[in-house]
Structure 1
Amino acid sequence: MRRSIRAVALIACLPFGALGAETDPDTGLVVEAGWEDVRAHCGSCHSFRLVTLQRADRTGWRAMIRWMQETQNFWMLPPDVEQRILDYLAANYPPGKYGRRPPIAPELMP
Structure 2
Amino acid sequence: MSQGIEFNRLMLDMRAMQMDAMSAPKSTAAVPEMGGTSFSDMLGQAVNKVNDTQQASSQLANAFEIGKSGVDLTDVMISSQKASVSFQALTQVRNKLVQAYQDIMQMPV
Q: Same fold (TM over 0.5)?
A: no
Structure ranking higher in helix proportion: 2
TM-score by length of 2: 0.29
Question: Which has more radius of gyration?
Answer: 2
TM-score by length of 1: 0.29
Structure with higher RCO (Cα < 8 A, 6+ apart): 1
